[in-house]
Amino acid sequence: MGAGVINTGGGNRKRRSRGRGRAAAMSEINVTPFVDVMLVLLIIFMVAAPLLTVGVPIQLPETAAQALPTEQEEPLTITLTVEGETLIQTTPVEEGALVTRLRAIAAERADDKVFLRADGAIPYERVMRVMGALNAGGFGNIGLVTDTGGPTLDGSDG
């Protein structure tokens, strides 16, 4: 008994592939890996974004003022807590050494903008003393940070 090869097609039939072992060029882009990477990056940024804010908890007063436009350089933030602490960004500073530290920081920065965050329960005198120290330290452009939605003093709320 012998084994043979059965030829079911015609001998002169053209093949559709270009050659043996070569796949045809694919003209479609597979976007599935791109979408997967973008979703992972989106989740990472959504988790990391809330951690980038200055994290000293204080009760800000509310006003009807509009927010300031964003800056190129990270803004310098001075925080006054109701417990009596004064913080530059998140670093506690003695009020007696505040002007010296501010002068050193002002020498390294490009602009003189500073944001002052003060708890609403702090006496006005303390806020004004710190504003005077900011001015003496070389920061003439002081922005007071508040929450929006406060009274407008024309009889309507926020």
pLDDT digit string, tens, across residues 106-152: 888 888 889 999 988 889 999 999 999 999 988 888 888 888 777 77
Number of folded domains in the chain? 1
Give domain status of residue 88, yes or no. Answer: yes
Give domain status of residue 37, yes or no. Answer: no
Per DSSP, the three-state class of 88 is strand
User: What confidence category does residue 40 fall into, taking pLDDT thresholds of 50, 70 and 90?
Assistant: very high
Give domain status of residue 121, yes or no. Answer: yes
Give domain status of residue 44, yes or no. Answer: no
The CATH number that applies at residue 104 is: 3.30.420.270
Give domain status of residue 113, yes or no. Answer: yes
Give domain status of residue 6, yes or no. Answer: no
Q: Could you tell me if 106 and 134 are in contact, meaning their C-beta atoms sit under 8 angstroms apart?
A: no
Distance CA 122, CA 113 (A): 22
Element (H, E) at 79: strand 76-80
Summarised one tens digit per residue, pLDDT across range 72-116 is: 677 889 999 989 899 998 889 998 888 999 999 888 888 888 999
Q: Could you tell me if 80 and 108 are in contact, meaning their C-beta atoms sit under 8 angstroms apart?
A: no
Give domain status of residue 124, yes or no. Answer: yes
Give domain status of residue 118, yes or no. Answer: yes
pTM over 0.85, yes/no = no
Write out the residue range of the structural domain in which residue 102 sits.
76-145
